[in-house]
Structure 1
Amino acid sequence: VPAGMVLNDVVKTLPKEVFEVDDFKAWKTVAITVSALVTGYAALAVAPWYLYPFIYAFLGTAATGLFVIGHDCGHNSFSKSQLVNDIVGNAVMTPLVFPFEPWRIKHNTHHAHTNKLIMDTAWQPFRPHQFDNADRIGQAMMRATMGPLWWMASIGHWLFWHFDLNKFRPQEHAKVKTSIAACYAFGFLVLLPLLVTQGPVGFVKWWLLPWLGFHFWMSTFTLVHHTAPHIPFKQNREWNAVGAQLAGTVHCEYPAWIDFLCHDISVHIPHHLSTKIPSYNLRAGHASLLQNWDCHLNKAVFGVPLMTTILTQCNLFDAEKKQWVGFDNRA
Structure 2
Amino acid sequence: MANHNAKELRKQVAPYENSNTKMSIIQIVNTVIPFLALWYLAYQSLSISYGLTLVLAAVAAGFMVRIFIIFHDCTHHSFFKNRTANKVVGTLTGVLTMFPYSQWGHDHSVHHATSSNLDKRGTGDIWVLTVDEYMAAPMWQKLAYRLYRNPLVMFVLGPIYVVLLKNRFNRKGARTKERLNTYLTNVLIFGISGLLIWMIGWKAFFMVEGPIFFIAGMFGIWLFYVQHTFEDSYFEEDKDWEYVKAAVEGSSYYKLPKLLQWITGNIGYHHVHHLSPRVPNYKLEEVHNNTKPLQNVPTITLSTSLTSLRFRLWDERKKQFISFRELKAMQRTNKLTAQTKPEL
Which bracket does the TM-score occupy, shorter chain normalised? 0.7 to 0.9
1:28 maps to 26
Q: What secondary structure is seen at the aligned counterpart in 1 of 2:314?
A: strand
1:24 shift after superposition: 0.6
Could you list the per-position Cα deviations for residues 101-159 of structure 1 after superposition, in whole angstroms to 9, with x for gaps in the alignment?
Answer: 00001111111111112524322314454486344863552342xx2443243554555
Contact kept? 1:19, 1:277, Cα under 8 Å = yes
1:213 to 2:218 alignment: no
User: Normalised by the size of structure 1, how large is the TM-score?
Assistant: 0.86
CA distance in 2, matches of 1:137, 1:203: 37
Q: What secondary structure is seen at the aligned counterpart in 2 of 1:206?
A: helix
1:187 shift after superposition: 3.7
1:91 maps to 92
2:138 maps to 133
Higher relative contact order at CA 8 Å, sep ≥6: structure 1 or structure 2?
Answer: 1
Q: Which amino acid aligns with 1:52?
A: T
1:108 maps to 109
1:122 maps to 125
Could you list the per-position Cα deviations for residues 39-92 of structure 1 after superposition, in whole angstroms to 9, with x for gaps in the alignment?
Answer: 322331333222234222211111112211111111111111111111111011
Q: What secondary structure is seen at the aligned counterpart in 2 of 1:110?
A: helix
Instruction: Point out the structure with max Rg over C-alpha.
Output: 2
1:272 shift after superposition: 1.3
2:342 maps to none
1:151 maps to 155
Contact kept? 2:57, 2:208, Cα under 8 Å = no
The structure-2 alpha-carbon separation of the partners of 1:196 and 1:316, relative to structure 1 and needing over 3 Å to count, comes to: farther
Q: Give 5+ residue unaligned stretches, structure 2.
A: 331-344
Q: What secondary structure is seen at the aligned counterpart in 1 of 2:13?
A: coil
Q: What secondary structure is seen at the aligned counterpart in 2 of 1:33?
A: helix
1:206 shift after superposition: 2.7
Aligned 1:73-84 pairs, distance under 5 A? 73-84=74-85
**1:328 alignment partner, one of 309, 325, 328:** 325
Which structure dedicates a bigger proportion of its chain to helix?
Answer: 2
The structure-2 alpha-carbon separation of the partners of 1:50 and 1:208, relative to structure 1 and needing over 3 Å to count, comes to: closer
1:294 shift after superposition: 2.9
CA distance in 2, matches of 1:183, 1:166: 18
Contact kept? 2:66, 2:264, Cα under 8 Å = yes
Q: Which amino acid aligns with 1:300?
A: I
CA distance in 2, matches of 1:99, 1:179: 7
Q: Which amino acid aligns with 2:82?
A: S
Contact kept? 2:128, 2:313, Cα under 8 Å = yes
1:266 maps to 268
CA distance in 2, matches of 1:32, 1:174: 34
**1:243 alignment partner, one of 242, 245, 249:** 245
1:25 shift after superposition: 0.3
The structure-2 alpha-carbon separation of the partners of 1:191 and 1:149, relative to structure 1 and needing over 3 Å to count, comes to: same
1:42 maps to 40
The structure-2 alpha-carbon separation of the partners of 1:167 and 1:65, relative to structure 1 and needing over 3 Å to count, comes to: farther
Aligned 1:133-212 pairs, distance under 5 A? 133-135=138-140, 138=144, 141-144=147-150, 147-152=151-156, 153-157=158-162, 159-160=165-166, 163-168=169-174, 173-195=175-197, 201-212=203-214
1:4 to 2:3 alignment: yes
1:58 maps to 59
1:226 shift after superposition: 1.6
**Which range moves more in the overlay, 148-157 or 76-85?**
148-157
CA distance in 2, matches of 1:327, 1:199: 47
1:185 shift after superposition: 0.5
Contact kept? 1:29, 1:263, Cα under 8 Å = no
Q: What percent of counterpart residues are identical?
A: 19
1:231 shift after superposition: 0.6
Aligned 1:288-299 pairs, distance under 5 A? 288-289=290-291, 291-295=292-296, 297-299=297-299
Q: Give 5+ residue unaligned stretches, structure 1.
A: none
Over aligned residue pairs, what C-alpha RMSD do you find? Answer: 2.6
Q: What secondary structure is seen at the aligned counterpart in 2 of 1:219?
A: helix
Contact kept? 2:24, 2:79, Cα under 8 Å = yes
Contact kept? 2:234, 2:246, Cα under 8 Å = no
CA distance in 2, matches of 1:260, 1:24: 18
User: Normalised by the size of structure 2, how large is the TM-score?
Assistant: 0.83
The structure-2 alpha-carbon separation of the partners of 1:45 and 1:197, relative to structure 1 and needing over 3 Å to count, comes to: closer
CA distance in 2, matches of 1:271, 1:70: 14
1:8 shift after superposition: 2.4
Q: What secondary structure is seen at the aligned counterpart in 2 of 1:13?
A: helix
Contact kept? 1:32, 1:261, Cα under 8 Å = no
Q: Which amino acid aligns with 1:133?
A: P
